[in-house]
A = this chain, B = another copy of it.
């Protein structure tokens, strides 16, 4: 755990930077300034320079950043070489979408299996990802330590308990349920309906530039 001092806010932006640098590289661009980056990813240029500076002096004054060098640096930092296997629990509409989506574009994560309670779905596969019955969770999970949770809310805590017992490390929770986990397990919540409500609330109460 070498780089513990990197602010979480910075860490969340790294994949964004990585993706854009990748695209620049594909375009054959050799150099890029914090200002160009800023326009592309919509992050203040000072923030970008500060973010990069946590990793040391990656740029050159008066020149900017060398795309290839920066990209290589982030590849290592973000462990882009290493593939993290992920299980998807709950093959409903949202789960199905994720299976098709198949996170693996310039990505170091891959959904390698899915689970559902519906016997109609089990045994098949979607987008090359096999779907198992939820009863077989423990027996199928293998080394997978990350799960995407797209089950109905009232199942969320049950499944979470089983995942926790199994030894999961992280859960990306798309259910509205705020699940309880033993300490040591990291849960990120993405609550789509709250995101939409929040957007609407901001529209009404926080006029932009004010």
Contacts and interface: CB of A to CB of B under 8 A. Distances in A.
Interface of A: 1-4, 6, 8, 11-12, 14-16, 19, 39-42, 78-79, 84, 86, 92-94, 96-98, 100-101, 103, 105, 107-109, 145-146, 148, 169-170, 172, 176, 178, 180, 183-186, 188, 190-210
A96 B203 CA distance: 25
Majority secondary structure, A binding face: mixed
Tally of this chain's copies: 2
A184 B78 CA distance: 35
Given A79-B204, A96-B97, A178-B40, A197 B15 contact: yes
Contacts of A93: 96-97, 100-101
Given A41-B178, A86-B196, A197-B109, A170 B203 contact: yes
18 contacts: A1-B210, A11-B198, A14-B198, A15-B198, A15-B201, A16-B178, A19-B194, A39-B180, A40-B178, A42-B178, A78-B197, A92-B97, A93-B100, A107-B193, A169-B203, A170-B200, A183-B209, A188-B199
Contact of A1 (B4, B185, B207): B207
Given A103-B193, A195-B188, A200-B108, A210 B176 contact: no
